[in-house]
Amino acid sequence: MKFFVDTADTAEIEELAATGLLDGVTTNPTLIHKSGKDFLAVTQEICALVDGPVSAEVVALDHAGMLREAEVLRRIADNVCIKVPLTVDGLKTCKALTGEGTMVNVTLCFSANQALLAAKAGATFVSPFVGRHDDNGFDGMALIRDIRLIYDNYAFDTQILAASIRHPVHVLEAAKIGADVATMPAKVVKALFHHVLTDQGIEGFLADWARTGQAIG
């Protein structure tokens, strides 16, 4: 499973990239606003920090406008992945861009039928929003499960990018189902490393090691 971080905060991205375990980045207009930085400039900075795909979202709602914005965004770097909403115009744009070899992430997916359309449009990634689905009384993981089943039935190449991840259990469940990617806030990535028994184990081993009076090397 690939791990993407869902942020436009370059300090967070740099810290996680240093672990060698970060496979990409997703941003959206809300995260760009939160960064307080210029969209194109911060996207360029992010693209230089990671080798993997960096999703940058168009804001036009019509096909021609999306294509125009995508043209500007894909000039930033080779690892830019154009993010389009799951609408008729978004999918038309997806089809056109992936046909030319540009990576596309189809975002704001809330049903398995929408995900089926995204795959038919040749999407590189589809982003079902697990957390927002749960927040509204639906079962986000059931959505991931349905999409996995459909994509496997037809051997679609589109990668399932579990998005709107709120906590480590979402990551665990998505991994068990076989989502290809999980994008999550930096605090969720960091939480994956921790376990109270790991901390206690280190404490105990170090205490006993000190009692041996030895040193390594």
Among 13, 17, 25, 28, binds ligand E4P (CB under 6 A): 28
Q: Minimum distance between the CB of residue 83 and ligand E4P, rounded to whole angstroms?
A: 7
Interface mask toward ligand E4P for 51-70; x: CB under 6 A: --------------------
Among 82, 98, 164, 179, binds ligand E4P (CB under 6 A): 164
Confirm whether 83 is a catalytic residue: yes
Q: Which of 2, 37, 83, 92 is catalytic?
A: 83
Q: Determine if 125 is a binding residue for ligand E4P (CB under 6 A).
A: no
DSSP collapsed to 3 states, the chain: CEEEEECCCHHHHHHHHCCCCCCEEECCHHHHHHHCCCHHHHHHHHHHHCCCCEEEECCCCCHHHHHHHHHHHHCCCCCEEEEEECCHHHHHHHHHHHHCCCCEEEEEECCHHHHHHHHHCCCCEEEEEHHHHHHCCCCHHHHHHHHHHHHHHHCCCCEEEEECCCCHHHHHHHHHHCCCEEEECHHHHHHHHCCHHHHHHHHHHHHHHHHHCCCCC
Contacts with ligand E4P by CB under 6 A lie at: 6, 26, 28, 107, 127, 129, 131-132, 163-164, 183
